[in-house]
Structure 1
Amino acid sequence: MDPDGAGAIRKIIHIDMDAFYASVEQRDDPALRGRPVAVGGSRERGVVAAASYEARAFGVRSAMPSVTARRLCPDLVFVKPRFEVYRSISEQIRAVFAEHTDLIEPVALDEAYLDVTENRQGLPTATAVARAIRATIRAQTGLVASAGVSYNKFLAKVASDFRKPDALFVITPAMGPAFVEALPIGRFHGIGPVTEGRMKALGILTGRDLRALSLEALTKRFGASAPYYYGVSRGIDPRPVRVNRIRKSIGAENTFSDDSSEFAVLAERLAPILDKVWGAATAKEVRARTVTLKVKFADFEQITRARSVPGFVPDRAALEETVLFLLRDLFPLRRSVRLLGVSLSALEHGPAPEPRQLGLGL
């Protein structure tokens, strides 16, 4: 019987490329190999998009301000990201997945879930499939992938991260519940730093502590997330691998070389961001109801402002109109701005409707 209570035991693999962006840069530039590398940002500005394992040894992490990363690692080498290269390699890797199964759920360019309960190659175990995939990825791309194998998505994700880098770890149905009991709460996928802090304040330090709470107690403290926490603390996760996974949002942002608090300057700097966001939405044939503006100030404080529109955002002009409305509403500014971002959410797939006015009264 499946520990998730769904009948036959599923065989799930989570593949996660090790330090993907940084590893690609080290592969393509021998001078970077063995050195601490940060993709994105610069020595003075911006945010780290990815860090090599050599950089991580100093505490450098993704989403960290560049100035902080440089302070932690003075010898850190900053490299501009090449997203077109990363996307091309990601497509190559997904073609490897497709040699084994049609049930593939990409999560990002560098990771995906695979359901290999039945596999195309007729390999006897999910572990054998994971081993074959890792070997093919290394042979075709020169890059290293870690893999987690288990009977559900939660444990497969935990397993892929358990002994990184260059790891293959298996959590069997017999191991699952006991493995989760000993797992520190911070290593639970789906429990972020804020929730981790709340749980630790309540004395919830491990899966065993989480499992001791009833569903009612969890619901009182954590609301809609309670059923998920209740299940995974018992090694249960009934979520299927979703082949047509719908993105929750599409966005882009940019950190500027100099800060500004002038509306005209910031409006001009939004133009390429809007182009990128609308281009992505058009290419993916998604429509959006909600527009969000992200603003990071010179002191690194960050705010967001959102507006939902009737129907869907019809075109790029309407997107710009909405974003400028949100930006104008922040003025006058007391601090200068170092980063702007725009995202679309409440998405639905399908071609965009005929353009129409949003009537924002600008």
Structure 2
Amino acid sequence: MDFDFPLRKIIHVDMDAFYASVEQHDNPELKGKPIAVGGGSKRGVVSAASYEARKFGVRSAMSGMQAQRNCPQLIFVKPRFDRYKEISLQIRSIFYEYTDLVEPLSLDEAYLDVTENKKGNPSATLIAKEIRQKILDKTGLTASAGISINKFIAKVASDYNKPNGQKTVNPEEVIQFLEDLDIRKFYGVGKVTADKMYRLGIFTGKDLKQKSLEFLDEHFGKSGKYYYHVVRGIHLSAVKPHRIPKSVGAERTFFENLSSEIFMLEKLRHIAEELERRLKKSKIAGKTITLKIKFSDFTLQTRSKTLPYYISSKDLILETAKELLYQSPLEESVRLLGISLANLNTEKDDEPPKKESVLVQLKFDF
């Protein structure tokens, strides 16, 4: 199949269990043992889990108590973010040996556009292999990678041969790869969306591809267009060296669960003040306010409202957050509250394919 838009050579590099792997590397006594970074206190939450702990169902964002129940021999380690950042910068310096088009997603993963690269190497597959070896030599840590024609497919592919592996999806393999893909593996499809898709008879990329744009818009709103395009291999988002955030937020986890809305409002006021500071620092405003509520049973609920104008002041943020809080009764006590602002004044939609774009033949060395 030919694609009616220019193809890129994109690598997604993802460190393997990064925080936990750093701890095991720095303390050899932890090697081969189930460890969790964070989560050790009564109110603790797991930030990362080693592969040994994951075998017992320990996952990031899980409460420390639940993680301990899943794996009684679990070892909790206090996070050292300065150390993780130090190693992340070492890894990033390796990326820049190959290209300046590096888009970090977090301390442990990034996209690289190597369509044209500093080494003059036409093979993105070989570049990914070299990068992973250099990371191992420099830090003692392993990384996995996905390589393909766009960011979406590269991101999905990087999970395929974890840990310490890589997968290339060549242009001629893209459509079959996406059709065979379990819908749960589509980047951007979470558990709730996957369950909804199951109910609609969508289990694989092939099932998704058979749904019309109108059908997807009706059932998934603005995400429908995204699903319609990515399953056809269309994802035009470029690698952005200075990535613009899609949302800005702040949240607090409380030492004691809150059951009184009066106390919640006081907490929301502090969160709104922190959010205002972050917005002003970045000179950002937004239209969509989302209130995040995590209950004592760890269920999560979000409530959103989109305003007709951009806001960044704590008073307007708090006013809308308060309205969302009172939207429906709270049946459980609350352990976490958060407010985020999206639909920012920094966002620009990626341009759709143009009819006059060059038709790229499948003579593209990966």
TM-score grouping bracket, smaller chain normalisation: 0.7 to 0.9
Of 204, 207, 217, 2:205 maps to 207
> Which range moved further: 38-47 or 317-326?
317-326
The corresponding residue for 1:47 is: 45
Deviations 1:51-73 (Å, cap 9, x if unpaired)?
Answer: 11111111111222322222211
Alpha-carbon distance in 1 for matches of 2:292, 2:43:
17
Asked if the contact 1:47/1:65 (under 8 Å) is kept, the reply is yes
Sequence identity, in percent?
51
Q: 59, 62, 65: which one pairs with 2:63?
A: 65
Structure 2 match to 1:111: 109
1:138 is matched with which residue: 127, 130, 136?
Answer: 136
Q: What's the Cα RMSD here?
A: 3.3
Distance 1:275 1:29 in 2: 40
Distance in 1 (CA, whole Å) between partners of 2:283 and 2:221 is: 33
**Structure 1 residues 199 and 327: CA distance shift in structure 2, 3 A:** closer
Q: What residue in structure 2 maps to residue 21 of structure 1?
A: 19
* 1:233 shift after superposition: 2.5
Instruction: Report the equivalent of 1:172.
Output: 170
For 1:275 and 1:88, how far apart are their aligned partners in 2? 30
Moved more, 66-75 or 303-312: 303-312
Matched position secondary structure for 1:161? coil
Partner of 2:358: none
Alpha-carbon distance in 1 for matches of 2:286, 2:212: 38
* Structure 1 position 264, deviation (Å): 7.6
Q: Give the Cα–Cα distance (whole angstroms) in 1 for the partners of residues 264 and 316 of structure 2.
A: 16
Task: Evaluate the alpha carbon distance shift between residue 103 and residue 132 of structure 1 in structure 2; reply closer, same or farther with a 3 A threshold.
Answer: same
Q: Distance in 2 between matches of 1:215 and 1:154?
A: 19
Indicate if the aligned counterparts of 2:289 and 2:321 stay in contact, CA closer than 8 A. no
What does the per-residue CA deviation read over 1:251-302, in whole Å, with 9 as the maximum and x for residues that have no partner? 3434333334457866776688667655544554434555544332323344
Structure 2 residue 4 is the aligned partner of structure 1 residue 5: yes
The residue that corresponds to 1:226 in the other structure is 224
Unaligned runs of 5+ in 1: 350-362
Please list the CA deviations of residues 74-117 of structure 1 after superposition, one character each: whole Å capped at 9, or x if unmatched.
11222233333333333332222222112222222221211110
Q: Decide whether the 8 Å contact of 1:4 with 1:238 is kept in 2.
A: no
Amino acid paired to 1:6: F
Does residue 83 of structure 2 align to residue 85 of structure 1?
yes
After superposing the two structures, state which structure 1 stretch, 213-222 or 142-151, moved more: 213-222
- C-alpha change, 1:220 and 1:84, in structure 2 (3 Å) is same
Shift of 1:205: 1.8
| In 1: Cα distance, 2:281 partner to 2:85 partner | 14
Q: CA deviation at 1:331?
A: 12
User: Match for 1:207: what amino acid?
Assistant: G
- Once residues 130 and 22 of structure 2 are traced to their aligned partners in structure 1, the CA distance between those partners, rounded to angstroms, is 21
What is the match of residue 241 of structure 1? 239
Residue 330 and residue 246 in structure 1: after superposition, are their counterparts in 2 closer, same or farther (change >3 A)?
same
- TM alignment of 1:1-362, pairs within 5 A: 3-7=2-6, 9-42=7-40, 44-261=42-259, 277=275, 280-281=278-279, 283-288=281-286, 292-304=290-302, 311-314=310-313, 318=315, 335-348=332-345
**Aligned-partner SS, 1:49:** strand
- Which amino acid in the other structure matches residue 342 of structure 2? S
2:289–2:342 CA contact under 8 A, matched in 1: yes
User: Is the Cα–Cα contact under 8 Å of residues 10 and 151 in structure 1 kept in the other structure?
Assistant: yes
Partners of 1:334 and 1:202 in 2: CA distance = 30
Which residue identity does 2:344 align to in structure 1?
A: L
SS at match of 1:162: coil
Query: How many residues are matched?
Result: 346
Separation in structure 1 between the aligned mates of residue 275 and residue 26 of structure 2, nearest angstrom:
29
Contact 2:290 2:321 in 1 (8 A): no
Partner Cα distance (1:319, 1:28) in 2: 47
TM-score, with structure 2 as normaliser: 0.80
Structure 2: which 5+ runs fail to align? 347-366
| TM-score computed with the length of structure 1 as normaliser | 0.81
Give the counterpart letter for 1:182 in structure 2.
Answer: D
